[in-house]
């Protein structure tokens, strides 16, 4: 069995987890568009590939799948997930299973307003959202919402261009500067993250790990502590299964006055997944089981509460004399 990890970047730990899980039973192959992406050097083999927007990119990845006899493929960046989901049949035709949810669901995850509409339809608590400033102003006048609010891109990640604002003037300035913005209720409560796995064969949610976020950095969890609540597990499980997710999911949640609100959903490994793995929630094993044709048993909440994760900086030093540096 060989696993392909696309756009590995700095996610060294994910590569390491899959190498450990395969334990000589197969290879982990990684790609990136830069040869300064440290995670690719953790893999058994790696390929320097064009950017995903380059013509012919898909053919390059399919060629790697055929050459390396890849069993399963997943990506660690958002834009590539849509490509994998959309071109699922082309990957299956070369014997490779894309580890990703279906295309429409992936696209809904990346459109924050569409996700808001889906959560409302499912009657799951979520922050109020407004697709444009005019509808927000009307809601403000009706007393349905008050400042401060978040102004953020409808599509985006890593907390880029997300601003907490406290006046109409600030809203106007941001809407003049950027296109495709939405306005979201400011949630002044406890923030949690959930690492979730939905079995690719049964469609059942088999793993949920919840962490209370203590500190964030560049949109990712920097420090967190493991947390358990059966009510939250049930909310996440029902949401994930009813939507039809498959594989890994990363969910952001707020808690206010005893109510949990689902905020954002990313259908991939989250940046804070090492916390889950360190507590024994092994989604690499779940992926390998599914690719072997085996359903996973339910292990929701099977971890210790009160375990902290603290990220720290590491560096990789590599002799690249004679190589062209591709940043």
DSSP SS3 for 323: coil
User: What confidence score (pLDDT) does residue 146 get?
Assistant: 92
Structure tokens belonging to residue 61: 């990845």
Long-range contacts of 124-127, Cβ-Cβ distance < 8 Å, separation of 24 or more: 124/235, 124/239, 124/262, 125/259, 125/260, 125/261, 125/262, 126/261, 126/262, 126/263, 127/184, 127/185, 127/186, 127/187, 127/254, 127/261, 127/263
Fold adopted by 3-100: Rossmann fold (3.40.50)
Selected from 3.30.1490.20, 3.30.2130.10, 3.30.70.890, 3.30.70.1060, the CATH number assigned to the domain covering 128-185 reads 3.30.1490.20
Q: What pLDDT does 157 receive? A: 62
CB of 308 within 8 A of CB of 223?
yes
Which residue(s) pair with 45 in the sheet?
A: 29
Domain ranges of the chain: 3-100, 128-185, 188-310
Inter-CA distances, 49 with 53, 323, 325, Å: 11, 15, 13
pTM for the model stands at 0.93
| 102, 160, 253, 318 from 201: Cα distances, Å | 14, 35, 27, 41
Could you read off the pLDDT of 126-163 as tens digits, one per residue? 999 999 999 999 999 999 999 999 999 988 765 567 88
Residue ranges in the chain whose pLDDT is less than 70: 157-160
pLDDT at 138: 95
pLDDT for res 202: 97
**Which CATH class, in words, describes the domain spanning 188-310?**
alpha beta
């Amino acid at each position: 069995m060989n696993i392909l990890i696309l756009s590995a970047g700095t996610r060294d730990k994910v590569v390491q987890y899959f190498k450990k899980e395969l334990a000589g039973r197969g290879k982990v192959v990684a790609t990136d568009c830069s040869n300064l992406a440290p995670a690719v050097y953790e893999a058994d083999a790696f390929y320097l590939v064009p950017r995903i927007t380059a013509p012919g990119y898909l053919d390059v990845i399919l060629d790697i799948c055929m050459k390396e006899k890849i069993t399963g493929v997943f990506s660690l960046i958002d834009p590539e997930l849509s490509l994998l989901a959309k071109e699922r049949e082309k990957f299956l035709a070369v014997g490779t299973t894309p580890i990703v949810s279906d295309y429409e669901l992936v696209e809904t995850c990346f459109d924050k307003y569409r996700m808001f509409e889906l959560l409302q339809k499912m009657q799951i608590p979520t922050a109020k959202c407004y697709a444009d400033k005019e509808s927000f102003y009307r809601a403000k006048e009706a007393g349905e919402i008050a400042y401060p609010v978040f102004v953020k891109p409808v599509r985006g990640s890593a907390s880029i261009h997300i601003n907490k604002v406290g006046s109409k003037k600030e809203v106007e300035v941001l809407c003049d500067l950027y296109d495709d913005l939405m306005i979201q209720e400011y949630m002044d409560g406890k923030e949690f993250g959930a690492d979730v796995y939905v079995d690719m064969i049964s469609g059942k949610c088999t793993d949920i790990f919840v962490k209370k976020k203590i500190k964030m950095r560049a949109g990712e969890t920097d420090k967190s502590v493991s947390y358990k609540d059966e009510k939250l597990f049930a909310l996440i499980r029902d949401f994930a299964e009813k939507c039809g997710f498959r594989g890994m999911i990363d969910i952001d949640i707020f808690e206010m006055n005893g109510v949990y609100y689902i905020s954002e959903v990313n259908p991939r490994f989250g940046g804070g997944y090492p916390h889950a793995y360190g507590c024994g929630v092994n989604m690499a094993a779940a992926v390998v089981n599914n690719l072997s044709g085996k359903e996973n048993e339910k292990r929701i909440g099977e971890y210790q509460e009160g375990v902290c994760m603290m990220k720290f900086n590491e560096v990789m030093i590599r002799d690249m004399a004679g190589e062209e540096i591709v940043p």
